[in-house]
Amino acid sequence: MILTVTLNTALDVTYRVPRLLAHASHRVTEVTERPGGKGLNVARVLAAIGHEVTATGFAGGPTGHLVRELLASASPGVRDELVPCAGTTRRTLAVVDEASGDTTQFNEPGPLITAAEWSVFLSRYEALLTGGARAVALCGSLPPGVPVGAYATLVRAARAAGVPVLLDTSGEALRRGVAARPDVIKPNAAELAELTGSRDPLPATRDARRRGAHAVVTSLGPAGLLAATALGTWRAAPPRTLTGNPTGAGDSAVAGLLSALTEGLAWPDRLTRAVALSAATVTSPTAGAFDPHTYEEVRGSVKVTEGA
């Protein structure tokens, strides 16, 4: 079983409009709703590619209730171990401009998590780690009330249980989490620059390893992934630039990395799967899903270069 953690879950709402214009009214041509937050996106992709997956984190209020309903009905293969909270789960709104293919994103803040709710979550998390987890993904922002060092605590718990852990967050939560020595971190270029102070991805990726991460995989947007590990450095790029909705593309990359890790694949194969899933997510019409045809097409054409 692969465990995903989404402390700041969301209801992802996607609107499609013919053209997005400032200061104008818009007729929405299509609306979709699905469970969201980075870890739930990761869980959905993992289940879609055949892995047993359990999702934990927080869910509360009417929005949280809808997230759990949709998780049960529209996310087959994802086991729900979300912890109830008194606050209301946030919503995120993605507006897709059909004329340009661009997406505009609006993210609400999360619910206030109490100390008692955090304590309940920690007990649930530790039980899941020792209950058969083969790997864990810690993903996304921290809701209000959760300690800023929360991910460092969760990384240490995973390492104590002997479970490989991937961390995908940003800011101070990432800075503190890296110091706890996760097996993998997956920042994007901007998050990596904030962590290290360098805007050159290659030395910044290596610097992030020196700060504690055993391996660093950096998202370079349409250019693919850059990985620095104890075994070497690689760049992996899709065969062509793909346009569409990038929401969830990084989460699909996490699913690719984590699934390949549990299968014992070598780093070039992990990166190939991650790039192909990420690219296939961009071409999907719905945030947090991937297009199987694009996945198969790209997977056979990913260019992986060693010693980048």
User: Looking at the annotation, which residues are catalytic?
Assistant: 251
Residue with tokens 């304590």: 119
On the CB side of 24, CA atoms within 13 Å amount to 9
Contacts of 263 (CB under 8 A, 6+ apart): none
DSSP of 185-218, one letter per residue? E--BHHHHHHHHS---HHHHHHHHHHTT-SEEEE
Count of CB atoms situated within 10 Å of the CB of 215:
22
47: left (phi over 0), alpha (psi -120 to 50) or beta: alpha
CB distance 175 to 144 below 8 Å: no
CA dihedral 42, 45, 46, 49 (to 10 degrees): -160
